[in-house]
Structure 1
Amino acid sequence: MRPADLYTVDALLAVAVGGLLCPYAALESPLHGGVREPLWVSVLVGLALGLPLAVRRRWPMTVAAVISSVATVALVTGVIPNFAAAAPALAIGLSFYTVAVSTPTRRSMLCAAGCLALVSVALVLTAGDLWSRTGAVVYAAVMVAPAWVIGWLIRERRALAVRQSDHLVRQAATEERLRVARELHDVVAHTLSLIVVKAAVANHVAEADPREAGAALRVIEQTGRTALTDVRRVLGVLREDSPYAPTPGLDELPVLARQAAIGGVDVQLDVRREEPAGAVPESVGLAVYRIVQEAVTNVVKHAAPAACRATVTVLPDEVRVEVTDDGQRPVLLGGEGHGLIGMRERVALHGGEFRAGPRADGGFAVTASLPYRVAA
């Protein structure tokens, strides 16, 4: 609800309470006799009790103090008989609710306790015996205190919702940073591996075979341009006004296999589709591409020259990936590298399973399954 609408509601509430209920209560005569006040006094007291509710959201504690003080004076002087205390109690309860909703707990509790004490004293002074006085205090607490409790609960619930929203925002930002970091790692690691391999070739044959060195440098140039395009695409996602190329997926796997051949790895790619093209979600296709890319890059870095086989099977409800090689890799003493961690995170993001490790007959194997749901 807009602020203007809230102030309109408060104004109508003030008119109803201050123009009808409280003046009606003030016009009531005491049960045991007493001086009847003039009509204008009753109306004025009723307006003084109800009209401050129109600005209760702007000055909640001031409004609560004013209404409680007026109610106390009205009850002590008999302008409002104690049996008609429900009307001022309604005005006080509304002000207490606003105090609890809009004011920190400690301040609102002190304000509510002070105002409630004033009203309780007034009821006690106008009551008869001890039993009536005790009942008057209980009556005041039952009529007024629940409004503060309800307001406090709503304030706490809103604060909890804000904290949860902030947590979700921070979590989304963290996940986005991790996603961008994974993308950049996959792009840079794959590209630099090929560049290093071809740079070593160019350096080795620079004098003996300038043509071969030139070919290696052209590969480095092409690979670098491709990497720059991928980096711009990844960073362009962070800017809504920045156009970027489509994300790579299953259709780009043959290009990936040809790039790996430049690094000395013969990749035999086998893509088996049981679902029509376009059925696999883009996020799953990107994850499959990056997993194959990282697995092949690891072969280039750690096992080249070697033979590598990449099998991608697209089933109706999941995509299975298996990348194996027959190369010899050094033993990693520091646990998994960033590449394996990134692949494991991608698979976990889609609720799949991931395994990576040495094969019994030599070489290394990476397997993953990524479930997906076809859009209706």
Structure 2
Amino acid sequence: MAAALAVTLIIGYAVVDPPGPSSPWPAWSAWPVAAVVSFPVAVRRRRPRAMLALACAAATVVTVAGAVAAGAIWVSFVPTVLVLYLVACTTSIAWSAAGLAACLSAAVTAVLIFYAQVFPGLAPAHSPSELPQAWPIEIGAIAVLLTAGWATGTAVRWNRQTTARLVGHLAETAVADERRRIARELHDVIGHSMSLITVKATVANHVADARPQEARAALAVIEQTSRSTLAEIHRVLDLLRSDGDPQQARLPAPGMADLPELAAHARSAGVEVELTVREEAALPPAVAMSVYRIVQQALTNVITHAGPARCSVTVDVDGRQAVIEVVDDGSRHGRPPRQDRSGHGLIGMRERARMYGGAFDAGPRPEGGFRVSARLPYNPDGTTP
């Protein structure tokens, strides 16, 4: 609306006080004419294509009718330039190029008709102008403005599309990297499980005749461990591809017992952490590791984006699912909170929850701060429900 008003004033002033001969229309008509020509600018965002046609048609009509002044015809096409810029930003290059060609053709035709039929009948200007009134100058100015508006809009559209593609590629890369990292972490759990199965199978084989009770106990361990390991292998195969990653050093998998150490690290960074863990049943190693990683990333986000702050971490395990909630109250030292935490950390946490068929949610709180919640369902043997 502000742009339309500004253009209206510019066009009206150019008609009232032109550089060349005045328009044969009454002086008061300059403002209604300017308003009509500038109207498409006010509503260009609703229907850009229709407003481009309307702006070009209005400028062409007022030019042919002699409602504009010699030497200032190009000003009446400024609204067309503004709408053409928006069209080039939001439509295909073929459509916007066709619009540019149509506008140029209409403008050239209107200017030639004006100088052939209207200009010879105008009264001479009261004072000589430094700007000569000639159709090549008018056509050249209009062509430069229209081309510049179209080129700028096309460049903006290309930049937006390139940025969108880059953001999508980065998101896909982040997901792939996180899945490979999950595979490396699960490697320790699966390797440990297979080693345990091998040992128990060896024991059962040697004591099957002499101590059948011990053999049956070993077979029970093998059964439970193999079910859990098979479930982890299926998750990895569903999420990951074999891409020849280099072997990583074997590290102990973190779990629930390491959560207090995470809280201590966050406290040393200035975040007041209240940790509550309600564990009614032991978690399978892979689930416990995912819980640890989600809490770790959530606390890292608090330290990075909100610290110093107050934060509560709640982990509730009931034998069927692990529920995680990390809530902070935002910065308490006057620093503006950074609510946009849409980086790769959230992508990784969401992937971990999805691996178990769970749910993940993260976002700013109405009362201030940020909340992260995740639910990881599982069966006692480690399989997905």
TM-score, normalised to structure 1, is: 0.52
Structure 1 residue runs of 5 or longer lacking an equivalent are: 1-10, 235-247, 253-276, 279-289, 291-376
CA distance in 2, matches of 1:17, 1:135: 21
Which residue identity is paired with 1:194?
L
Which residue identity is paired with 1:14?
A
Q: Is the 8 A contact 2:85 2:153 kept in 1?
A: yes
CA distance in 2, matches of 1:200, 1:250: 25
CA distance in 1, matches of 2:147, 2:50: 18
Looking at CA atoms only, which structure, 1 or 2, has the larger radius of gyration? 1
Moved more, 116-125 or 81-90: 81-90
Corresponding position of 2:151: 149
What are the Cα deviations for residues 295-318 of structure 1, in whole angstroms up to 9, with x where unaligned? xxxxxxxxxxxxxxxxxxxxxxxx
Query: Aligned residue pairs: how many?
Result: 233
CA distance in 2, matches of 1:29, 1:214: 104
Which residue identity is paired with 2:140?
V
Structure 2 residue runs of 5 or longer lacking an equivalent are: 120-132, 237-249, 255-263, 266-285, 287-385
What are the Cα deviations for residues 189-227 of structure 1, in whole angstroms up to 9, with x where unaligned? 331232133123203321123365356457647866996
CA distance in 1, matches of 2:197, 2:43: 71
Matches within 5 A, 1:172-183: 172-183=174-185
Q: Is the 8 A contact 1:30 1:78 kept in 2?
A: no
Matches within 5 A, 1:1-376: 11-18=1-8, 20-28=9-17, 31-32=20-21, 36-127=24-115, 132-210=134-212, 212-213=214-215, 216-217=218-219, 220=222
CA distance in 2, matches of 1:107, 1:228: 56
CA shift in 2, pair 1:80/1:194, >3 Å: same
CA shift in 2, pair 1:65/1:226, >3 Å: closer
Corresponding position of 1:341: none
Which residue identity is paired with 1:187?
V
Corresponding position of 2:330: none
Of the two structures, which has the highest relative contact order with CA contacts closer than 8 Å and spacing of 6 or more? 2
Q: Is the 8 A contact 2:185 2:253 kept in 1?
A: no
CA shift in 2, pair 1:118/1:173, >3 Å: same
Corresponding position of 1:285: none
Q: Is the 8 A contact 1:60 1:99 kept in 2?
A: yes
CA distance in 2, matches of 1:75, 1:47: 15
What are the Cα deviations for residues 134-176 of structure 1, in whole angstroms up to 9, with x where unaligned? 3333222112210111111011000000000011111112222
Q: Is the 8 A contact 1:75 1:122 kept in 2?
A: yes
Q: Is the 8 A contact 2:40 2:55 kept in 1?
A: yes
CA distance in 2, matches of 1:31, 1:138: 17
Runs of 4+ aligned structure 1 residues displaced above 4 Å come to 217-231, 248-252
